[in-house]
Structure 1
């Protein structure tokens, strides 16, 4: 794949564009502003909710297409909602009725709030200003179970693997899943994936995946990374993701501004649209 053909830059947020403080560095911001000046299409694709992600990327101060909740929402650079897909309430209720280890934090992503089984300080730390507020609820007593996605987190990865297997035993035809981090398990509708949402944006803008470079660090980035003309895996990504995509290059970590430094290194090789 020739770097001269690249017209689109796609990046995940957590573990990729964001450092471990969940912020975008000044250096990364400057590189992305230069990309915008040189007419690259920029897409941020994240598992985060759109309200949360919008608050984060606003610091870039440039127009960005935003794919959120792993592809369940697409917003234009003008923050217009272009696409949305929700899980059916009955399907969500059937998962929440399972015997879930109470040590696992369970979260429903709703349109304007995230409902959680308990307060989780580690999870709250992902948001600097709580643009997307949490609400502790009793999931057995909800009136409305419809949601954008279901999210589980626990420091013990094996507990989440066991929960995944329990859910898929009876729901594999309805849900897709991904470990965005080893401690984060997410369930979406089977039709939802970052790569599917990105393809909609590329078609709208007259580009193809062959003209894109993408960066990611989680299993929810797998298809996005594999589809792009150039797919780059962050150095901080899990080793089993690197092993699963051995044909893709591994770059520096998120705490080393890996995305921005890679783009800076090859910027002179890019062919800029006139």
Structure 2
């Protein structure tokens, strides 16, 4: 659906692989474009799979406050950082997943409120955070009493291993969770009511806007419903081919390392 520029009032962007370059940082060019859009009174929403403590440190770099959807929609924070919405996964649900025979090569992570608990140190995962605002804690999961968490996360460099694990979990729990690949190497499970698009709908209702007035950018399968919902949606050049094929009706823009989001918005929206 094409829109005249005047109709777009809301800008929604994912972080990793989208607003962030491959060093997990916001470039100075992207910063300057977003500051100009903020001055033009666009409502800006950042929607990420990252935990809120981690994401807050990143969006602070933009230099102005934004709405923040984190953990794929399990948390919503207002621009003043007030918590507007929160939902966790049940302890017993996570315990039953962790009781499955999970390949020990896969790194298993629980996103808790103030810490992320992981089955092992994973340097690749640690590199996603420039500032350790949300520290990892290596734990033996079978020693925990309470498993309640915001999100359950698995990572491995072999995508097929994660696909097999996803199938294994869904056979045992067909209707209990929502799940997504945020990156081919990252498989995430949340409460079944959680999706970025659901959280964004709550923000739009609060602000008196509609999805038709919104433009969104993403690169992962956790962005799929968000991209589908907005009046205008763009897929990053670095998105997996399988996502581009699935959303073949959407325009593909430059990659995250080429400032794809900022370049597009600068060309289309900045007066």
- TM-score between both structures, scaled by the size of structure 1: 0.97
Count of residues in Structure 1 that have an aligned counterpart in Structure 2: 269
User: Which residues of 2 match residues 177-256 of structure 1 at below 5 A?
Assistant: 177-256=179-258
Deviations 1:126-172 (A, max 9, x none): 00111100000001110110000100000000000000000000112
Deviations 1:234-255 (A, max 9, x none): 0000000000011110000000
Contact 2:238–2:256 (8 Å) recurs in 1: yes
**2:180 matched to 1:174?**
no
- TM-score between both structures, scaled by the size of structure 2: 0.98
After superposition, the CA RMSD in angstroms is 0.7
Deviations 1:158-215 (A, max 9, x none): 0000000000001121011100000000001110000000000000000000000000
Contact 2:115–2:135 (8 Å) recurs in 1: yes
Residue 25 of structure 2 is aligned with which of 23, 35, 52?
A: 23
1-side partners of 2:3 and 2:131: how far apart?
Answer: 41
2-side partners of 1:20 and 1:247: how far apart?
Answer: 26
1-side partners of 2:187 and 2:199: how far apart?
Answer: 20
Residue 59 of structure 2 is aligned with which of 46, 57, 69?
A: 57
Shift of 1:268: 4.7
5+ residue gaps, structure 2: none
Contact 2:218–2:227 (8 Å) recurs in 1: yes
1-side partners of 2:49 and 2:61: how far apart?
Answer: 19
5+ residue gaps, structure 1: 270-274
2-side partners of 1:225 and 1:141: how far apart?
Answer: 40
